[in-house]
Structure 1
Amino acid sequence: MANKTLLINRVAVSTFFFVNGFLYANWTSRLPELQRFFGLNNAQLGSVLFCIALGSMAAMPFAGWLGSKFGSDNIVKIASLLFCVAIPLVAISQNEWVIRLCFFFLGATSGSMDVTMNGQAVLVERLWGKIIFSSFHGIFSIGMAIGAATGGIFSNFQISLISHLVIIGFFGVLLVLWASTKLIKDIPMETEIVVSEEKTDKLLALKTILPFGIIAFCCMTGEGAMVDWSAIFMNKVIGESEVLSAWAFGTFGVAMTIGRIFGDYFTLNLGKQKLMLIDAILAILGLGITIVFVSVWSTFVGFFLVGLGLSTIVPIVFSSAGNLKNISPSAGISMATSIGYTGFFIGPPTIGYLAEAFGLRVGLGFVLFLFVLMAGILLFILRKK
């Protein structure tokens, strides 16, 4: 019975990861239509989308604190339902300031959901008794893939934006309501220790997680670069069609999903730090091939290797952050996500500036430098052990 209950807990937490990826991919798949609906040029759209980053970065530390105080199981329910509500809100108005507010709300709810569902994943992994963390992120990637396909179907049948987003938002609510009844009770951490000792514990935790946070920053900068620039690289640098360019990003996404599905197996057999070092080397090799050998096939091979390399780094970092002593899973994860997502949101615009001045190959060279830095930190951690 206990094993059956734990399996249900795992399925429930996986549902949150699926909903997050599924809903997010649905609205992003129709972003060109949203841009026309808003009547914004590319620069204005970029400014509006940055509100998502601001919302996420503002909410993540707060969500970590709330998870520590009230339990991740309680906060993830609220954050997830609000996220489902936020999805259709992005298409309710053409007023630029209302749009900015809705996108800020979308980012805040998505970021809060991200922190607290990862906190629940840590608890499931602890009770499961073996490494399973990467599988949750694999479910997220599967949700993204299905969500993108679903968005394409709605678009193909010319279903209105608001109808589409309301339908999938309602579907998300149904899944969240079911999963919310099957979560693990997260007991808030006791606060009986002296304030000075509490500060010391948090400082030690921050010092411990900082190297992993930097690793997450480097990794998520790479993820953001692939999301925003892989198709453009194939189109502008290689000179191929938009269809083939979309496949370039798809190659990266498929590799990420494969890597996360098998990530727990390799983590168990190789260890966290060793696997991350191998991942970093794969990412360096893949992006190096892409930049140096400018051809269709080298780009496909390179992006596939980058996807494999980046696939398990963030799940491992989040798992490590969520298992720090004297700090709750949500608080530890919020530290790592706050640092990591900075790279995801700030990295792609930085690449854009470099690409404008020196070309996209140089822009991606900045990401390659971060991958080398990431490998250096991991090598230092391994030697220190």
Structure 2
Amino acid sequence: MISATTASAPAVNRTHRWAVSAWFFLQGLIFASWASRIPAIQQRMGFSDATLGLVLLALPLGQLPSLPLTGWLIHRFGSQRTAVAGVLLYSSSLVGLGWAQQPWQLLPCMVLFGFASNLMNISINTQAVGVEALYGKPIMASFHGMWSLAGFTGAAVGTAMIGWQVLPQLHFLLIAGLVLAGGLISYGALLPHSVSDDAGEQPAFVLPDRTLLGLGAIAFCALICEGAMFDWSGVYFQKVVRAEKAWVGAGYTAFMSTMALGRFGADWLTARLGPKRVIQCSGLLTATGLLVAVLFPTLGTALLGFMLVGFGTSSVVPLVYSAAGKSEVMPAGMALAAVSTIGFLGFLIGPPVIGLVAGATSLRFSFALIAVMGLCVAAVATRAKLR
């Protein structure tokens, strides 16, 4: 357990907070680096939109076996050690994605990438719940803000790499080296024990109750929208907006910049409006932004639409995770893992579905369907129990 001395020491608490923030940043940097080069990898492999959608199914296939395993690892070894395993696998699989030249090489790397993403995500969010408990006030959004800030940084670096004609394999190798160095420096300041370690002999994975299922449903719909932006924004700007090569990554950058900004202000806004109202407005804003980009697919209007989506999706997941951490029916770490599991299924399943629908209809129609998920966020939040 976290000692009373540690809990009462503001300097130590700040050290834990900065360390966990750093790991959120590292995790986001890895994923953003991959997302920024999807169009280049699609072109290298010669994939159509429909084929790319099928290939992206390898990510959720990798995530599925990690769900019960991650809960067990955190329960058995703690979130600190589990996070280390996650960052090692995540970095190495990113390098593999860059070096893959054939589909048979790309697919196993994507499976490992999906497995490692969930391993790192749940363990670091469990760390965040523990630090939030030390502070005694909502700070979860600021952690996710660091993830988004990393996404913005990774997108900007990716855009620069594309402009400089740096190959994905060298790009990913540099990012992996930076991530491993950052993880090594900050590892010692992570919480040695997470809140989930206080769960005694309870099982490592517990089915969520009705309240947690509602929170998971909100996260599921919101993360479908996020996943669409991460995996398909570059392709959308390339094929629908028909942006010049240097502007292909601009939509992703616009989305990530407003998402980061929104998350850093989410705690302040929630204190004044309440979590339910913030999530409702967020869902409506997400749907509006997607429809603007679909109905008016020019460079300026699409950028505006993607910025609105960034603001809309910014606070939903942090607020849902914070509510899950206050569960009264199971330990915070387990509740968080359950809600995170449901949510990230949407994050990983959404992009492949977009590709399949785009192959049958069009990419614009796929994005219009994703706008419906934004409306679902607002609708489910109306009935959910949020504290």
Q: With structure 2 as the length reference, what TM-score do the two structures score?
A: 0.85
Indicate which of 197, 212, 215 corresponds to 1:212.
215
Given that residues 67 and 116 in structure 1 are in contact (C-alpha distance below 8 angstroms), is that contact kept between their aligned partners in structure 2? yes
Q: Tell me: CA distance 1:271–1:120, structure 2 relative to 1, closer, same or farther (3 Å).
A: same
How far apart are the structure 2 equivalents of 1:129 and 1:308?
26
| Other-structure match for 2:4 | none
| Corresponding residue for residue 307 of structure 1 | 310
Q: Corresponding residue for 1:100? A: 107
Say which of 125, 128, 135 aligns to 2:132: 125
Please give the residue correspondences for 1:52-71 in structure 2 after superposition, counting only pairs within 5 Å. 52-71=59-78
1:267 to 255, 265, 270: 270
1:7 positional shift = 0.6
Alignment match, 1:248: 251
Q: What's 1:150 paired with?
A: 157
Q: Which residue type is aligned with residue 137 of structure 1?
A: H
User: How far is the alpha carbon of 1:157 from its aligned partner?
Assistant: 5.4
Counterpart of 1:41 in structure 2: which amino acid? F
Alpha carbons 1:61, 1:335 under 8 Å: kept:
no
Partners of 1:357 and 1:45 lie apart in 2 by: 13
Does the 8 Å CA contact 1:60/1:337 hold for their aligned counterparts? no
Percent identical across equivalent pairs? 31
Which digits, 9 at most, give the CA deviation of each residue in 1:58-108, with x for residues without a partner? 213321232133321221122222322332233455464343222211221
Q: Does 1:276 align with 2:279?
A: yes
**Aligned partner of 1:41 among 47, 64, 87:** 47
Residue matched to 1:3: 10
Offset of residue 132 of structure 1? 1.0
Could you list the per-position Cα deviations for residues 2-26 of structure 1 after superposition, in whole angstroms to 9, with x for gaps in the alignment?
1111111001001111111112333
Inter-partner Cα distance in structure 1 for 2:384 and 2:70: 29
Within-5 A mapping of 1:1-385 = 2-32=9-39, 34=41, 39-42=45-48, 46-92=53-99, 94=101, 96-154=103-161, 161-184=168-191, 185-186=193-194, 188-191=197-200, 202-203=206-207, 205-234=208-237, 236-238=239-241, 240-292=243-295, 296-381=299-384
Shift of 1:47: 4.2
Partner Cα distance (1:78, 1:302) in 2: 37
Instruction: Tell me how far 1:313 sits from its aligned partner.
Output: 0.4
TM-score for both structures, normalised by structure 1: 0.85
C-alpha displacement of 1:213:
1.0
What is the Cα-based RMSD across aligned positions, in Å? 3.1
Retained in 1: the 8 A contact 2:87–2:116? yes
- For the residue of structure 2 that corresponds to 1:130, the secondary structure is coil
Other structure's SS at 1:221 match: helix
Kept in 2: contact 1:256–1:311 (CA 8 A): yes
Unaligned runs of 5+ in 2: 1-7
1:287 to 1:66, Cα distance in 2 relative to 1, 3 A: same
Letter of the 1:148 counterpart: A
Q: What's the CA shift string for 1:9-59, capped at 9, x where partnerless?
A: 00100111111111233344344555566x553466554443222212321
Q: 1:99 to 1:250 in 2, by over 3 A?
A: closer
| CA distance in structure 2 between the aligned counterparts of 1:100 and 1:92, rounded to whole angstroms | 12
